[in-house]
Structure 1
């Protein structure tokens, strides 16, 4: 891994004149506050792209500007080569799925799905045909005459998706559509949305703060912080080769340790030394993901190509399929994750342990003195 990149933090943006959706310097200000700062992004036709980041990072504002619900302060939105920045929302060929679903409670499922077609004055026979197709796509044909209150959360989610897709939009926009569902249903709906998007070949932008959703569903992940782009890449790119410390810590779990690099591939963390990729120098921050660390008993030298730190076990947490071990290493806490084994494998709190991991699994970033 090239994390010796003591990285500058410059994001890798998707570019290209052939992009189906392109944002050029898209900016939104609210008074003196900059919600989105000169965002450049290109989304190829047929790709599902996630806007990922914490609350307040600008991802929903970006989505709403694309939809036409918020007017940009600067920049352009281009779809299929056409500048739609000033186009009203009802003229944009986009389907929207909101976090709240926004279904009409007095209408049946079929009427909810048909609403967008009726507003477009589509002939009634065509409406009936397309509504039936859309409900079949989300497996709700049998519930066409029910009201939203008679549906489960997952079924309401499917209605909202069918309503967005029935107009056959050029772009599908999804604003945290799974956040109101329980964990098991979120897993199911992730797969359903991805399958439908791929089968239709539709371009989609998905807003989420959930790293699992972004990594498991999307072709590209756009990580945002403070209204700015931190990194754009495939799920593997942003997880395995994060461009900044923020991306490394936000996309997946990680241990963060401050150290001093000697320029020969050695970093001192307190009195302990570890090896890192490349030859960084000066003050650095190293990161290691918990599941890449092996926990063992006793002392001994590190194996070939491995780093090793000794410490004392302070806490063990059982989280179903994982055991999380919290280890004090010279006054710093490190977390190790290991598969649970039918409730076995618990170690005694207070016991001395050793942590080891491959040198190439060490991420290195420069930091201020």
Structure 2
């Protein structure tokens, strides 16, 4: 009863056979509650996969089970064809970057990066070479003797990344590594982490609650809700073909209206009849992305077959730098429209009657219980 193809099915056989990391029915229970429930996931070698969802959805618990820091209640963790579910963390050949960076404050940058190699009894001459190479990779070779307190947040993040990569792990795990950085640094580090991951060809799993990070950095996005998998797909798939209203609203901004589908390609929303790209029948939710709605001068001319038009009144205008957000009242419901700010020119005023127009194909339709 929904327009959009559900992409959350198990990976194909070819994906399974190419998987470097595979989770089979991975589950974590605390008493009667499930933190993660029967999660299946296949990550091909060299891909960067995001675990995306709100706080409490189970994404960090999943990452910590993969790292060996939490014991699964059920299921298997398989790397390179080998079951590592019962293997201790230090034998798993994984590099982990924590949200808090977890640097040793009394050690220099070089000593922090060298720590994992020293624990593995790597020869000193090799340690020196690998530390130098790792610091060069994150552009910190000139800061090798500084202490963490003498570094900026972005530099500390680079040290944590170098420390995770210097051991040459099979898999890189990143637990919300950018959440402590300001917006500009987050943008820079997103690009740096992605570039390093691609240059090394390393398999990586990235935990985040930020949909921009997931969409811009990763090959695949795993959307989670309440411990369960909602959808797996490429960034384009989860954005353009969300499997549920939750995915649609969490991965990008949306407007949401309730209506009754007639089965003839139209949906009745109050007194408004909207055209939709499906012949669903019964109660539905419809969703539209704010940036795909055009704000026009008020008109009563009928829309053509490829567009919807509805009429309303501007109730609020919000300036968001490069965007203007218009909050439009339509029969008691609020619809948000986003438009380029254009140097502050042409801003429409509160109280102005307007027409909202969007393509029929940009209407997302999801069946719901009556």
Which range, TM-score by smaller chain? over 0.9
Q: CA deviation at 1:3?
A: 5.8
Give 3-state SS (helix, strand or coil) of 2:345's partner. Answer: coil
Q: Aligned residue for 1:4?
A: 3
Instruction: Report the Cα distance in structure 2 between the residues aligned to 1:192 and 1:245, rounded to whole angstroms.
Output: 32
Structure 1 contact 23–42 (Cα < 8 Å) conserved:
yes
Following TM superposition, by how much is the alpha carbon of 1:228 offset from its aligned partner in structure 2, in angstroms?
0.4
Q: Alignment partner of 2:70: what SS? A: coil
* Distance in 1, Cα, partners of 2:57 & 2:91: 28
1:346 is matched with 347
Q: Distance in 1 between matches of 2:235 and 2:51?
A: 12
Deviations 1:245-269 (A, max 9, x none): 1100100000000000000000000
In the TM superposition, what whole-angstrom CA distance separates every residue of 1:60-112 from its partner, at most 9, and x where no partner exists? Answer: 00000000000000000000000000000011100000000000000000000
Q: 5+ unaligned residues in a row in structure 2: which ranges?
A: none
Q: Which residue number corresponds to residue 326 of structure 1?
A: 327
Alignment of 1:1-369 (within 5 A): 4-5=3-4, 11-14=8-11, 15-299=15-299, 300-369=301-370
Scaled by the length of structure 2, the TM-score of the pair is 0.97
Per-residue deviation at 1:10?
Answer: 7.0
Alpha-carbon contact 1:52-1:211 (below 8 Å) kept: yes
- Mapped to 2, the partners of 1:348 and 1:187 lie a distance apart of 33
Q: Map Cα deviations across residues 155-198 of structure 1 (whole Å, 9 max, x no partner).
A: 00000000000000000000000000000000000000000000
- Distance in 2 between the 1:244 and 1:255 partners? 14
Rounded to whole Å, the distance in 1 between the matches of 2:346 and 2:99 is 40
**Deviation per residue, 1:287-325 (Å, 9 max, x gap):** 000000000112222134100110010000000000000
Which whole-Å CA distance do the structure 1 matches of 2:243 and 2:8 have between them? 7
What is the CA–CA distance in structure 1 between the aligned matches of 2:69 and 2:79, rounded to whole Å?
Answer: 16
> Aligned-pair distance for 1:153?
0.2
Contact 1:12 / 1:233 at 8 angstroms: preserved in 2? no
* SS class of match (1:85): coil
Deviation at 1:17, TM superposition (A): 2.5
Q: Is the 8 A contact 1:55 1:209 kept in 2?
A: yes
2-structure distance, mates of 1:311, 1:275: 18
Question: Could you say what secondary structure the match of 1:231 adopts?
Answer: strand
Q: Distance in 2 between matches of 1:10 and 1:227?
A: 18
Which has the larger displacement, 148-157 or 342-351?
342-351
1:4 Cα deviation after fit: 2.3
Q: Distance in 2 between matches of 1:64 and 1:350?
A: 52
Question: Does the 8 Å contact 2:315/2:328 carry over to 1?
Answer: yes
Q: 1:245 to 1:193 in 2, by over 3 A?
A: same
- Compute the displacement of 1:345 (Å): 2.3
Alpha-carbon distance in structure 1 between the residues aligned to 2:112 and 2:343: 47
Q: CA deviation at 1:32?
A: 1.0
CA contact (8 A) 1:3 1:362 kept: no
Cα distance in 2 for partners of 1:150, 1:284 equals 56
Give the deviation of 1:217 after TM superposition.
Answer: 0.1
Alpha-carbon deviation of 1:137?
Answer: 0.1
For structure 1, the residue ranges without an aligned partner over 5 or more in a row are: none
Residues of 2 paired with 1:34 and 1:131: CA distance? 41
Deviations 1:256-289 (A, max 9, x none): 0000000000000001010000211000010000
Q: Distance in 2 between matches of 1:343 and 1:93?
A: 54
Number of residue pairs the alignment of both structures matches: 366
SS of match in other structure, 1:20:
strand
RMSD of equivalent CA atoms: 1.1
**Could you tell me how far 1:150 is from its partner in structure 2?**
0.2
Deviations 1:321-355 (A, max 9, x none): 00000000001000000111001121110111110
* Segment drifting more, 302-311 vs 187-196: 302-311
